Amino acid sequence: DGGITQSPKYLFRKEGQNVTLSCEQNLNHDAMYWYRQDPGQGLRLIYYSQIVNDFQKGDIAEGYSVSREKKESFPLTVTSAQKNPTAFYLCASDSQRTALSQPQHFGDGTRLSIL
């Protein structure tokens, strides 16, 4: 079955360390997204990519970086500049370039905590 795979499910970061969250999709979607979820704050957009080798900052991009070298993959790096990284991170994808009426599909998330 097609879907989005996020790994790892749980991740711990040490002080001053960069960590990378993986997101892979086999839905043949052009667009991919990273969201951060904190309790009571809904979903906030970190970065998104509408096509390979191109991406845009979302609402809270500071302290994060991404790459989009392949259509299927959109990894997120949480850098040491992100001072409050503890959150639930969700990856999503859709075919909005061709069909804005289509919903986004989500992975099952990565929960990041500080050691």
Partner 1 sequence: AQSVAQPEDQVNVAEGNPLTVKCTYSVSGNPYLFWYVQYPNRGLQFLLKYITGDNLVKGSYGFEAEFNKSQTSFHLKKPSALVSDSALYFCAVRAYNQGGKLIFGQGTELSVKP
Q: Which of 1, 2, 14, 40 binds partner 1 (CB under 8 A)?
A: 40
**Whether 56 contacts 68, CB under 8 Å:** no
Q: Which of 1, 15, 16, 42 binds partner 1 (CB under 8 A)?
A: 42
Closest of 112, 109, 114 to residue 35, by C-alpha: 109
At residue 97, what is the residue type?
A: R
Is 43 a binding residue for partner 1 by CB under 8 A? The answer is yes
Residues 6+ apart with CB under 8 A from 28: 2, 71, 95
Is 76 a binding residue for partner 1 by CB under 8 A? The answer is no
DSSP state of 63: T
Q: Which of 14, 41, 84, 115 binds partner 1 (CB under 8 A)?
A: 41
**Whether 58 contacts 47, CB under 8 Å:** yes
Between 82 and 89, name the residue whose CB sits nearer to partner 1: 89
Q: Which of 13, 22, 27, 50 binds partner 1 (CB under 8 A)?
A: 50
Closest of 25, 26, 27 to residue 90, by C-alpha: 25
The residue ranges that bind partner 1 (CB under 8 A) are 4, 6, 31, 33, 40-43, 45, 48, 50, 56, 58, 88, 90, 92, 96-97, 100-101, 103-109, 111
